[in-house]
Amino acid sequence: MNSFYPPVLNNVPHSECLDPDALREVLRPSASLKWCRGLEPGGHFRHQIGSIAINTMRLVSDAGSAMEFLVEDTPNMHLLACFHGRLHLQTATGELSLVPNGCALLPSGFRRGNGHHSLASLTVSPQAVAAAAAAMAGLPGGLTLPVRDREVFPPLAIGPERPSASAIHGLLRHIDACLAVGPRLATLLGLDDVVHRTVAALRYPELLSEEPADLERWRERTGRNSFDTLLDDIHTNLDQPLRLSDLEARSHYSRRALQYAFRERLNTTPKAWIREQRLKRALERFRGDGPRPSVTDVATACGYVHVGHFSRDFKACFGINPSQARRG
C-alpha cells in the first residue's frame, strides 16, 4: 500500500510523525492514545498531524498512512469529518464507518479504529454542548438539560448526502480560512460556539423543530423588555465575540424565538443586524478624530476573514469603499 493522503486544513500547523510515540504525544491534549501501529507493508508509518485550541475546543487535523489504534476512555465527545480514505470506528455503544465527505459524532468513552484517512477532529466537552443546547432552548440562566460529565449514546454516522455533513465540512474550511489570518479571528467570531451548537443540534434534533410556543413567547414580550436590553448589550460589545448562544442566554429566548424577535422588530436576522452595526461602527472609526485605522485592522475587528468581503459589504451598506471613507 505505502500511500499517504495529504492534510486538507492547510492553516493548522502540522508536524510529521514517523512513529506511533510521536503521534501519541501530539494527540495528548485531545485524546489519550493507548496504542497504535502501522498497517503498511514493512511497518511504514507516516502522519502529518496538527492540533490547535480555539477557546475550550480543540481542532486536530490528521492525515497519513494506514494504522489501527485505541484511544483510552475520555469524557469528551468528538466530531469527525473525513476528507479522504475510510476509517472504521468502534465505541462502547456501537460502531460505524467514516467515508469521504461524511462525518461522525462519537460519545464519551473509548474509541478503537483502523483505516487510512485524511480527517479533522473537533474535541468538545459535554458541559459546553449542554450549555449551547440550553441557550438554544431559551431557558433562564442557561439551564435546560442535565449537565453530565459524560455523554453516552450510539455513535452517530452522518453520510455525505446529508446537509449537516456538508455544513460541518464547510465550517471546518471556514475555521481553516480564519486561521490563515490568525488564531484570534476564530476566537473573535466565536467559532467554538458554532461547533458546540452544531453538536447540540445533532444530539438534540428537537432544538431545530418549529415550536408555536416560541412565537407566543416572543409576542408576549412587547415594549421595553429583555430584547431591548439585548440590543443595548450588543451595541456595547460590538468589538467582542457575539455568539448566538450568548444572545439566547442573555435574552432567555430560544433559537426560534430569537429569530422571530429580530424578524418582527428589525426585519432581519441576528447575524445580519450585528454585521450592519459593526459596519456602522467601522464608518465611525474611519471618520473619527485622530489617526485613522487601516482597512485591514477594521475589517478584522468586524470579524471578516477577507478584506475584499469587508469592502464589498461596506460599499453595499454605505455606497463608498472603505478606503474612500478612510480618506474622508
Beta pairing class for 47-54 and 14-17:
antiparallel
Look at residue 223 in the predicted model and tell me its pLDDT: 43
Same domain, 56 and 96: yes
Look at residue 222 in the predicted model and tell me its pLDDT: 43
Which of 146, 166, 183 is the C-terminal boundary of a domain? Answer: 183
Same domain, 139 and 265: no
Whole-angstrom distance, CA of residue 164 vs CA of residue 205: 11
Inside any domain, residue 2: no
Contact assessment for residue 8 and residue 18, using Cβ atoms and an 8 Å cutoff: no
Look at residue 226 in the predicted model and tell me its pLDDT: 67
Residue 96 backbone phi and psi in degrees, to 5: -160, 170
Neighbours of 234 (CB within 10 A): 19
Inside any domain, residue 257: yes
Q: Cell triple for residue 88? A: 472504521
Inside any domain, residue 258: yes
CATH of the domain at 21: 2.60.120.10
Same domain, 172 and 310: no
Look at residue 79 in the predicted model and tell me its pLDDT: 98
Inside any domain, residue 188: no
Please state the three-class secondary structure of 50-84 as a single string.
EEEEECCEEEEEEEECCEEEEEEEECCEEEEEEEE
Same domain, 158 and 236: no
Neighbours of 22 (CB within 10 A): 15
Question: For the range 173-176, what are the long-range contacts, defined as Cβ-Cβ under 8 Å and sequence gap of 24 or more?
Answer: 173/9, 174/305, 175/9, 175/54, 175/59, 176/8, 176/9, 176/10, 176/11, 176/12
Q: Cell triple for residue 47? A: 502522519
Amino acid at 325: A
pLDDT tens, residue order, the chain (328 aa):
446 788 999 999 999 999 999 998 988 888 888 999 999 888 889 999 999 999 889 999 999 999 999 998 999 999 999 999 999 999 999 999 999 999 999 999 999 999 999 999 999 999 999 888 887 776 554 444 555 667 889 999 999 999 999 999 999 999 999 898 887 888 877 889 999 999 999 998 877 765 545 545 544 544 445 677 788 888 888 877 788 877 877 776 777 778 888 888 888 999 899 989 989 989 988 887 778 889 998 888 787 778 888 999 999 999 999 999 888 7
Same domain, 40 and 82: yes
Inside any domain, residue 202: no
Same domain, 142 and 50: yes
Inside any domain, residue 26: yes
Amino acid at 128: A
Q: Taking the CA of residue 112 as centre, how many other CA atoms within 13 Å lie in the half-sphere pointing to its CB? A: 6
Whole-angstrom distance, CA of residue 161 vs CA of residue 147: 32
Look at residue 30 in the predicted model and tell me its pLDDT: 84
Look at residue 299 in the predicted model and tell me its pLDDT: 86
Same domain, 116 and 220: no
Same domain, 219 and 178: no
Look at residue 150 in the predicted model and tell me its pLDDT: 79
Nearest CA-CA partner of 76 in 132, 118, 128, 134: 128
Q: Specify the number of domains making up the chain.
A: 2
Nearest CA-CA partner of 61 in 89, 33, 39, 82: 82
pTM above 0.75, yes or no: no
Q: Is 164 exposed, middle or buried (0-12, 13-18, 19+ CB in 10 A)?
A: middle
Inside any domain, residue 205: no
Domain of 240 in residue numbering reads as: 210-327
Look at residue 52 in the predicted model and tell me its pLDDT: 93
